[in-house]
Amino acid sequence: MAITSAVTDLVKSVGELLSSIFGAAYAIIHSFVSSIFNLVAGFLAFVGDLGKGVFDLAGGVGKFVAGNAVIIALISAAGYAYVRFVQQPQKQQGRKPAVTNGAGGAGKKTN
């Protein structure tokens, strides 16, 4: 009976060895696939949160502009008036006055 129990124990241990090898291989493959899946899911969650943040930011800027539309319009009008009425006359100061032939003694000189 000692030989039969030894052979039985040997077969059981070989079975357990194969079972542990396949179990370890399954655990490695499962953890690798799970990591890839979690990486993709995390990236998609990041993109979703980023898009939500961009839309929240745009909405906040829109609310700011709508809430301060009168002030923004006044600043824009002041800037336009500055460019139109202050900057334009300064450009005209560098021009030479037009010479006219007519009354007032501003005619041609002759030697």
**Domains of the chain by residue range:** 2-88
Tens-of-pLDDT digits for all 111 residues of the chain? Answer: 688 889 999 999 999 999 999 999 999 999 999 999 999 999 999 999 999 999 999 889 888 888 888 898 999 999 999 988 876 655 555 556 556 665 555 555 566
Contacting residues for 56 by C-beta, under 8 A, at least 6 apart: none
pTM of this prediction? 0.48
CA dihedral 92, 93, 95, 97 (to 10 degrees): 110
Three-state secondary-structure class, residue 82: helix
Rg of the chain over all Cα atoms, to the nearest angstrom: 44
